[in-house]
């Protein structure tokens, strides 16, 4: 049930994405161990490089609210085909939980992955 809510929230926040340059909206909903959900969308910038992805935007929301134990994230980008989190977002998510569940939302199906499957060699020191 929580997973369904997480996916609905990712789709809901996707509509809030600020994407005048790529026209590629992404929504992310991050679930904490305590059951809270934090949402984020991509926010683009005219300088392009300052763009923040939806996943990292959700992490920023959660951290600012004092939460850092994450169990899952749902990501809704292109709904026609799977839109996996980029390497930068995977690395940022791995900072908090290297084995969190990642749901990729498409029109037809939900793909479930573990973070280590998408980023098997996480940078660490």
Identify the H or E element spanning 63. Answer: helix 54-64
Give the x-and-dash track for 90-119 against ligand THU (CB under 6 A).
------------------------------
Residue 55 is a catalytic residue:
yes
Contacts to ligand THU from residues 57-86, by CB under 6 A = 85-86
Q: Which listed residue (4, 33, 44, 55) is catalytic?
A: 55
Least CB distance from residue 125 to ligand THU, whole Å? 24
In 3D space, the residue among 28, 32, 5, 37 whose CA is nearest the CA of residue 89 turns out to be: 28
Give the x-and-dash track for 19-58 against ligand THU (CB under 6 A).
x--x-x-x---------------x-x------x-xxx---
Least CB distance from residue 120 to ligand THU, whole Å? 17
Strand locations in 2-61 (E): 27-32, 37-41
In 3D space, the residue among 110, 107, 106, 98 whose CA is nearest the CA of residue 118 turns out to be: 98
User: In terms of CB distance, is 10 or 85 closer to ligand THU?
Assistant: 85
Contact 52, 28 (CB under 8 A): no
Q: Tokens 């809510």 correspond to what residue?
A: 5
Beta strand 101-105 with 70-76 is: parallel
- Binding residues (CB under 6 A) for ligand THU: these are 19, 22, 24, 26, 42, 44, 51, 53-55, 85-86, 89
């Amino acid at each position: 049930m929580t997973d369904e809510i997480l996916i609905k929230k990712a789709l809901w926040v996707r509509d809030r994405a600020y994407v005048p340059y790529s026209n590629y909206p992404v929504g992310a909903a991050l679930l904490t161990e305590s059951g809270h959900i934090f949402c984020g969308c991509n926010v683009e910038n005219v300088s392009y490089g300052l763009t923040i992805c939806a996943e990292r935007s959700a992490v920023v929301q959660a951290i600012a609210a004092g939460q850092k134990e994450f169990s899952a994230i749902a990501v809704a980008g292109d709904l026609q085909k799977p839109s996996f989190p980029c390497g930068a977002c995977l690395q940022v998510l791995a900072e908090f939980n290297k084995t969190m569940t990642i749901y990729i939302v498409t029109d037809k199906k939900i793909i479930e992955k573990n973070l280590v499957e998408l980023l098997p060699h996480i940078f660490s020191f």
